[in-house]
A = this chain, B = another copy of it.
Amino acid sequence: MNAPARLQGLLSPVLTPFDSDRRPDPDRFVRHCRWLLQQDVGLAVFGTNSEAASLALAEKRRLLDALLEAGLPAQRMMPGTGACALPEAIELTRHAVQAGCGGVLMLPPFYYKGVSDEGLYRAFATVIDAVADPRLRIYLYHIPPVSQVPISLALIERLLKAYPGTVAGIKDSSGDWNNTAAMLQQFQPHGFDVFAGSETFLLANMRGGGAGCITATGNVNPGAIMALYKNWRSHDADAAQATLDATRAAFARFPMIPAMKAAIAWKTGRADWAFVRPPLVELTPAQQQDLQAALSAVDFQMPNASMLA
């Protein structure tokens, strides 16, 4: 059996739709994933923007199973499986690998702060050794603004040496281009795929030899982002990047997750798309008005949004 093709291009941390009791809605989740795949966007389900931290392990298992039962291709999936408690990270990672997922995106344990690289090495190694499956591909998830637990270049080097092939890449959500550039230079040539953590750095990452990007706004603006990914060598790529940046900025005036959900609620006419779980809060009616005005002033389309309704 050949290994499946490596994940690349544009992936989105898939928003998790809730019902009015704030329970995940697997039906809308499947439809949203199908819409993303139709636009060639890979499924980084259970990311930060999926409110994955707010989902119980059992809920994540059921949502992943719903995608598989609906016949969506596991090789296009990169579920987030990191957890503070390693037995839970192991359980979800094993489930994802056995389902044939193209990879998993793994946060370090994020409760304890100021931990050592040795401790983080042991955390990742514990999961890899416990899953013990040659099909496993781990993408490290570096998002210090949220996790407050960074993944250093030295840690990456050590993991890549110990687990070549298994440690397959990274999502860099540091917002620090110098860090992304260093990873592109040091690790991308050694089979370690660097994904920008937002489309803000998509063009720079492609020019630096990176693999693509994994970005929240892929949920709402996939067409334009994918167009730049496909045409990053074209003469008007910088203008396309500027257009993407303007659209992202319209969302980023608000808390991103509620804003993206409000945009889908607006475009689909389904108010329940706006629901978030605490500690997040839905946009107020005034914020929704402001968002709609902001999005109307930039390049923002959601073709076939009826698929999500």
Contact = CB atoms under 8 A, between A and B. Distances in A.
B53 A85 contact: yes
Interface in A77-129: 84-88, 91, 108-113, 115-116, 118-120, 122-123, 126
A48 B110 CA distance: 12
Nearest to A53: B111
Contacts of A110: 111
Interface stretch (A172-180, A181-189, A273-281): A273-281
Interface string A122-155: 1100100000000000000000011111000000
A84 B54 contact: yes
Contact of A278 (B56, B109, B145): B109
Interface of A: 22, 48, 53-59, 84-88, 91, 108-113, 115-116, 118-120, 122-123, 126, 145-149, 277-281
A279 B109 contact: yes
A302 to B, nearest CB: 25
A120 B87 contact: no
Nearest to A108: B279
A151 to B, nearest CB: 11
A122 B88 contact: no
B57 A112 contact: no
A278 B116 CA distance: 10
A56 B122 contact: no
A6 to B, nearest CB: 27
Nearest to A123: B278
A111 B278 CA distance: 11
B56 A123 contact: no
A182 B84 CA distance: 32
Given A113-B148, A146-B112, A148-B113, A279 B57 contact: no
23 contacts: A22-B126, A53-B84, A53-B111, A53-B112, A54-B84, A54-B111, A55-B85, A56-B91, A57-B85, A108-B279, A109-B278, A111-B146, A112-B146, A113-B146, A113-B148, A119-B280, A120-B278, A122-B278, A122-B281, A123-B278, A123-B279, A148-B148, A149-B279
